[in-house]
């Protein structure tokens, strides 16, 4: 039941994710779109690499932190590896530090 709820929240989040960045630097919006294409195909490792590139440019980009956290969580379920789950929790914890009421981060 929890997996289904998380999956529904993930799908809802991805469908309505804001395309606005707090810090638009260079190719960041284009990189985010590229990562979303990989994410939508289930290519989470590729998406995570792009999210990491974005976070080098804008380390506190909440949208990117969220998507990286969801991608890591999905990867943890796909490959059944606890390391990805731990990394996912770290992303969500970072978001909660900036916004303690963020529903996706709290759910993650």
Q: How far separated are the first and last CA of the chain, in Å rounded?
A: 14
Q: Three-class SS of residue 65? A: helix
Q: What is the pLDDT of residues 8-59, one digit of tens each?
A: 445 555 444 444 433 445 678 899 999 999 999 999 999 999 999 999 998 8
60 secondary structure, DSSP code? T
Q: What is the pLDDT of residues 88-104, one digit of tens each?
A: 888 888 888 888 888 88
Centre a 10 Å sphere on the Cβ of residue 76 and count the other Cβ atoms it contains.
19
Q: List the domains of the chain with CATH numbers.
A: 2-13+26-107 (1.25.40.10)
Q: What are phi and psi of 27, to 5 degrees?
A: -95, 10
C-alpha 10, offset from chain centre = 9
- DSSP H helical segments within the chain, as ranges? 2-16, 28-40, 44-57, 62-79, 82-98, 103-107
Centre a 10 Å sphere on the Cβ of residue 17 and count the other Cβ atoms it contains.
16
pTM score above 0.85: no
């Amino acid at each position: 039941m929890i997996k289904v709820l998380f999956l529904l929240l993930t799908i809802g989040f991805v469908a309505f994710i804001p395309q606005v960045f707090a810090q638009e630097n260079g190719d960041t919006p284009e990189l985010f779109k590229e990562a979303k294409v990989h994410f939508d195909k289930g290519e989470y490792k590729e998406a995570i690499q792009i999210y990491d590139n974005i976070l080098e440019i804008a380390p506190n980009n909440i949208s990117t932190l969220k998507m990286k956290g969801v991608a890591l969580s999905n990867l943890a379920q796909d490959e059944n590896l606890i390391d990805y789950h731990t990394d996912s929790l770290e992303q969500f914890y970072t978001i909660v530090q900036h916004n303690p009421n963020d529903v996706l981060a709290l759910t993650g």
